[in-house]
A and B are shown apart, each in its own frame.
Chain A
Amino acid sequence: MRLSSLCATMCRPTACLSECRCALQNIVERLLSGDRRALARMVTLIESEAAPSHRYLAELHQHAGHAHIVGVTGSPGAGKSTLVTRLVREYRKQDTKVGVIAIDPTSPYSGGAILGDRIRMMELAGDPNVFIRSMASRGSLGGLSSSTRDVVRAMDAAGYDPIIIETVGTGQAEVEVMRTAQTVLVVVAPGMGDDIQAIKAGILEIADIFVVSKADKAGSDQTVAELAMLLSLDSNRRKAAWRIPIVKTSSYKEQGIEQLVESIQQHRQYLLESGVIVSRAQRQVRSELNALIMHAVANALKAEMSEEEWDAVVDDVTRRDRDPYTVASEIQARIGLK
């Protein structure tokens, strides 16, 4: 479909996009009716923590909860973006609207970022039923950006299902994706040898499905065998009802993608039948509430204490005129904490 005709069907004539750009109260309605520009603007508001975004998200919350949320993580260069592209193409055969959130790192020096995931996803570009949003991590360290969860909520409410989250290239400890996704794919490229040892501690534990990518390359069978061995050593996993599959894929030879979609579907089935989907959701809500409150406390502290006051108390404690515990409890009292 051409963009022009799509826009004509998406925009209600009375409230076309350019006219209601200022009337943001409409944005929730427009998003729910499938307007891509409204969703795009909502994501911007969420990302920049704009004042009304929580009000909008509160409205969207009741409309979300339908999408299956798939996290894709793995080290840089493991093949995540290419795999996501193939996955989306497979899902599009079922004619569903697919959402993709691709996160790349923010420079700690300039605050800028190069978001390059679209380069690999080029063949999806121009399909209005695939909504791809590139996000910078903006200082967040867990492999996602702090607003990823809220962006998922907006896409979910807008009717995208599944929603695929591609994390930044991860090392060992970036496990934040497990607090947002329902099914976590850990992508491992062959020939990385000891790197599998390295991912043992953090990332091995969060995988629901292992993907050995670039299976057209030598060494992929060995990688599968090493992963299988590591899994067999994990006593908790051995007892669990879900057997973590190891799926070999080759985006180059277009192999294994159907099987991977099948495994994701089986995992969703398992989550639903076992009730694990509820306990995961509860764990995620708990962590979200915690994060929201912590954020509010940090903001309250920022609003209460001027830089001069900080300097004064820091000097006091540094000179040992006062102790940090008393000072902290005084400041806590000022922002209403006991």
Chain B
Amino acid sequence: MADTRPIRVLVAKPGLDGHDRGAKIIARALRDAGMEVIYTGIRQTPEMIVEAAIQEDVDAILMSILSGAHMAIFPKVMNLLQQNHVDDVLVAAGGILPDEDIPAIKSMGIKGCFGPGAPLDEIIQFVRDNVQTDRLSVGV
């Protein structure tokens, strides 16, 4: 019996923009890296994202947003996670995130920010390195 299980990742598109090519490419790359990727589809509210993360018991949440609403939406997601005591899930963001916003995004507890052109391997490695390993251990 394997002593670890596949990493489970929620790929979510919050906000109102409908451009999910990037999210789908990430989802596909993570799948090819052996992860189980739950893709929510576009136009997700923070409540929908957090509820899905709880029910699916994911190890990581990757949010992709291109509309510029990240400074409004990300804090809501992080607050809802906190309110629900979800404190062991890696959160990362991608999309159009201006450089000047990145320190603020990271201070919310969002560990990684990946803009256009971020190499897929880097994102995969980031997820592998940063998910909490005690979540993945399934005992003997």
Q: Which residues of A come within 8 Å of B, CB atoms? A: 2-4, 7, 11, 16-18, 21, 36-37, 40-41, 43-45, 47-52, 106-107, 109-116, 118-119, 122, 125-128, 131-134, 136, 138, 299, 302
30 A-B residue contacts at CB 8 Å?
Answer: A2-B47, A7-B85, A16-B85, A18-B87, A21-B88, A37-B85, A40-B54, A41-B57, A44-B5, A48-B5, A48-B138, A50-B139, A51-B139, A52-B139, A110-B32, A110-B34, A112-B6, A112-B31, A112-B34, A113-B31, A113-B36, A113-B37, A115-B38, A116-B39, A118-B52, A122-B40, A126-B45, A126-B48, A133-B55, A302-B1
B6 — which chain A residues lie within 8 A by C-beta?
A: 111-113, 136, 138
A116 vs B36: C-alpha distance in the bound complex, in angstroms? 10
Are B1 and A3 in contact (CB-based, < 8 A)? no
B57 touches which one: A2, A44, A110, A128 (CB < 8 A)? A44
Q: Which residues of B come within 8 Å of A, CB atoms? A: 1, 5-6, 8, 27-28, 30-41, 43-45, 47-48, 50-52, 54-57, 80, 83-88, 138-140
B8 CB → nearest A CB, Å: 8
A36 vs B88: C-alpha distance in the bound complex, in angstroms? 16
A116 vs B30: C-alpha distance in the bound complex, in angstroms? 14
A47's nearest neighbour on chain B, judged by CB, is B5
Are A4 and B138 in contact (CB-based, < 8 A)? no
A274 vs B31: C-alpha distance in the bound complex, in angstroms? 46
A124 vs B139: C-alpha distance in the bound complex, in angstroms? 34
A114 touches which one: B39, B45, B87, B139 (CB < 8 A)? B39
A48 — which chain B residues lie within 8 A by C-beta?
A: 5, 138
B27 — which chain A residues lie within 8 A by C-beta?
A: 114
A109 — which chain B residues lie within 8 A by C-beta?
A: 32
A44 — which chain B residues lie within 8 A by C-beta?
A: 5, 8, 57
A112's nearest neighbour on chain B, judged by CB, is B31
A37 in contact with B54 given A45-B138, A48-B138 (CB within 8 Å): yes
A125 CB → nearest B CB, Å: 4
B125 CB → nearest A CB, Å: 15
A111 vs B8: C-alpha distance in the bound complex, in angstroms? 12
A107 vs B32: C-alpha distance in the bound complex, in angstroms? 8
A18 — which chain B residues lie within 8 A by C-beta?
A: 85, 87
B39's nearest neighbour on chain A, judged by CB, is A116
Beyond A119-B41, A125-B51, list 12 extra A-B contacts (CB 8 Å): A3-B80, A3-B84, A4-B80, A16-B85, A18-B85, A21-B88, A36-B54, A50-B139, A111-B6, A112-B31, A114-B39, A118-B39
A106 — which chain B residues lie within 8 A by C-beta?
A: 36
A148 CB → nearest B CB, Å: 15
A125 vs B37: C-alpha distance in the bound complex, in angstroms? 17
Are A299 and B1 in contact (CB-based, < 8 A)? yes
A299 vs B36: C-alpha distance in the bound complex, in angstroms? 25
